[in-house]
Structure 1
Amino acid sequence: MARDKKKKRISTDGSSGGMVFSTNPDFEFQEEQEIETLPNEEQRLKVSLDRKKRKGKTVVLIENFEGKEEDLKELAKQLKNHCGVGGSAKDGEIIIQGELLDKVKSFLKEKGFKGM
């Protein structure tokens, strides 16, 4: 006789989807604060060539972007289109494939970014 096994539901974001309770009487729920994207003139981006952990391939690494993840991805998309190469964006960093440091810096200066 076959038994029906219950399947455990796991959401795509890794949470179990249920409520979590705290036994700490001093616990205060803190809502996530929406991070606003700084204007281009106030961004202090660090732009450099990087070869670490990339199997010897060179990339342009843009760090210290402060703002929403959507804005970071939009800037990365514009950079990739401008340079005609691939890349990625996450956690405040943009990676552009290839040794295109001068091209990336000139594009960012045109957009009003500083601190490179």
Structure 2
Amino acid sequence: MDLKDQLKNLFPDHESENIEEQEDISDIWLQDDPILCKYEKRKGKPITILEGYTGATEDFKLLAKELKQTLSVGGSFKDDKIIIQGDYRDKIMAILKDKGFNVKRVGG
């Protein structure tokens, strides 16, 4: 007996609602120019830098937050650049391509 059957036994008069699943479409503005994905070392530590976004700053901040949560890493948003701690170029590029962004790998 699954959960739906148990609920039907407890509440026989209740009619279940069909909840439509929404696609995971973000409200972030997509641009034609590629976002540049760079790799640098600062004080001996590797970092990944994303720059070149021409949309609203708030959208870029949301994208930074989502990337940091998805990768479970630290980072920041400064001077219209997303700085991610560590070398995550391949993973970041895959995530951004899934979202519909054009991404260009710069350096190495």
User: Which is strand-richer, 1 or 2?
Assistant: 2
Aligned runs of 1:16-95 on 2, under 5 Å? 39-51=29-41, 54-95=42-83
In 2, Cα distance between equivalents of 1:59 and 1:94? 10
Structure 1 unaligned runs (5+)? Answer: 1-37
TM-score (norm 1): 0.61
Structure 2: how far apart are the matches of 1:43 and 1:81? 25
Query: Cα RMSD over matched residues?
Result: 1.6
* Letter aligned with residue 108 of structure 1: L
Which segments of structure 1 move beyond 6 Å, counting only runs of 4 or more? none
Alpha-carbon separation, structure 2, partners of 1:100 and 1:73:
18
Q: Give the distance between the partners of 1:106 and 1:92, measured in 2 at CA.
A: 21
Q: Give the aligned residue type for 2:75.
A: G
Tell me if structure 2 keeps the 8 A contact 1:79–1:104.
yes
Corresponding residue pairs, total: 77
Under a length normalisation based on structure 2, what TM-score does the superposition of the two structures give?
A: 0.65
